[in-house]
Each structure stands twice: as structure tokens, then as C-alpha cells.
Amino acid sequence: MIIAANFKTNLTRYQTREYFTALERFIHDNGLSQEVLVFPAMSSLYSHSGKAIMGVQNAYPAVNGAFTGEIGCEQLNEFGIKTILIGHSERRHVLGETQEFIAAKYEFYKNLGYKIIYCIGEPLHVRESGEEKMLEYLRAQLVGIDTAYENLVIAYEPVWAIGTGLTPTLEEIEKLHTILSLTCKTKILYGGSVKADNAKEILALENVDGILVGSGALKVNDFCSMISDAQKLNK
């Protein structure tokens, strides 16, 4: 399974180094074979070698150029980073990225062979407007996205579940993942208020191939316990 941590705008460079050191020790000491991805803040990136893969939370679809405040793949190459999050709800809803721009970013990093964790998810008012409307909304987030790309992983993260402590029911998560798996023949992660105490039951669901964890992963011991949960499930 894929166990991923998105630090968002948290932890310093020093704390991130310490985190990776503890994480690698845990993976090694426990002989864990899960795929572990960690997305630190941009200023904490470095060339990491080990079992855990360091990815980037965002990058501009360019090699380099005049894009103030952004980084391109030239900067990612410096650290050997080949894994990227695209379409995260905070980039869509807080930073205002459009589907068109997200699709262009996807195409750019796809053509470079990056592993792409592509995020989709509906806000609460859409969920409350019924299943058909919700599926329509999610399908719109796949417009312009080549879902047959072999290095694609989908992360389903309901916007209203992110950072709120709320999650859909286990039945709802399983149902949605099953529907998504009919169109996207790729791994599908669940994200949104996953914590050390609910990770196992979510990971056990059919068509859930892993988790993308925000605040619940900021303490390395909690993240390690989720990796152990995945290992025990042996899916």
C-alpha cells in the first residue's frame, strides 16, 4: 500500500530532517515494505536517500523561467525529486488553481515521467446535493487528466473532511473508491482527517490502496504506526 504524509506549511527544515531520520530507522528496524511518500514544505527539500520517497507539494509546469515564488523541475532535479502532488484541494480552493491549469501541470510532469499523486474531492454543499451531482463534480476534476498514465495515483480527499476531524463513513469511502476504481485503473488513496486511530479501518476497505495524511502525520510516531497498520493488513 501507499502511505503518504503531506506536511503542508508545517515543520522546519531541521524538523523535517529529524523526521526522515526517525522514519527511516523505523522502516528499517521493522522490515516494512509499504511504499512511503512524504511531501515536506518547499524550503525543507533535500536529496534524500532511503526507503521513504520525498515528493514535492507543488511545482510550476516549467523547467525554469520567470515565475516568481514558484519552483520548476530544474530545482526539483537538484534534489532528485520525481514525485509530485497535483490538484490538492488547498491549491484549488485557497490558491485558486483552475482545472485547466491543473491539467497543464499534470501533462507537464507526466511527460517528465513523474509519479503524480492527483487529488480530487468534493466540498460539503456538493456532497449534500446528492450522489449524481457529487460524481459529476469529481468527474469534472478528471477533465484533461490522462487516467491511463502508469505513474498516476489518485487521492480522494473530500474537502469537508480535510483538517476538520470529520470523515465519510467507512461504507461511503468504500463505495466511492469502488466507483472511482471503475474509471481509474490505478491505486486510489483516501485522505481527510486520517489519524493513527482510524487509519487501520480505512486501510482495510476494499479499493482503498493507501492513505494521504496531513495533520495526523506531523508526529513521526503516529505516521509510523499507520505504516505498521498497513503492513499488518498485508493487502
Q: Is 88 a catalytic residue?
A: yes
Query: What residues are paired with 39 via a beta bridge?
Result: 6
Q: How far is the CB of 12 from ligand 13P (least distance, A)?
A: 19
Tell me, residue by residue from 102 to 131, as one string, x for binding to ligand 13P by CB under 6 A and - for no binding.
------------------------------
Q: Is 132 a catalytic residue?
A: no
Output the residue with the shortest Cβ distance to ligand 13P. Answer: 214
Q: How far is the CB of 168 from ligand 13P (least distance, A)?
A: 12
Q: How far is the CB of 42 from ligand 13P (least distance, A)?
A: 15
Please tell me the distance from the alpha carbon of residue 69 to that of residue 214, in angstroms, as a whole number.
23
Q: Is 215 in the site for ligand 13P (CB under 6 A)?
A: yes
**Site size with ligand 13P, rule: CB under 6 A:** 14
Q: Which of 17, 163, 179, 181 binds ligand 13P (CB under 6 A)?
A: 163
Q: Is 61 in the site for ligand 13P (CB under 6 A)?
A: no
DSSP letter (8 states) at residue 96: -
Q: Which of 71, 81, 214, 224 binds ligand 13P (CB under 6 A)?
A: 214
Q: Which of 191, 208, 227, 231 binds ligand 13P (CB under 6 A)?
A: 191
Q: Which stretch binds ligand 13P (CB under 6 A): 58-66, 105-113, 172-180, 206-214?
A: 206-214
Q: Is 158 in the site for ligand 13P (CB under 6 A)?
A: no
For the record, the C-alpha cell of 43 comes out as 524550503
Identified catalytic residue from 35, 90, 122, 157:
157
**Per residue, what are the HEC states of the chain?**
CEEEEECCCCCCHHHHHHHHHHHHHHHHHCCCCCEEEEECCHHHCCCCCCCCEECECCCCCCCCCCCCCCCCHHHHHHCCCCEEEECCHHHHHCCCCCHHHHHHHHHHHHHCCCEEEEEECCCHHHHCCCHHHHHHHHHHCCCCCCCCCCCEEEEECCHHHCCCCCCCCHHHHHHHHHHHHHHCCCEEEEECCCCCCCHHHHHCCCCCCEEEECHHHCCHHHHHHHHHHHHHHCC
Q: Which of 38, 152, 162, 196 binds ligand 13P (CB under 6 A)?
A: 162
User: Which residues form the interface with ligand 13P (CB under 6 A)?
Assistant: 6, 88, 157, 162-163, 191-194, 212-216
Catalytic residues: 88, 157
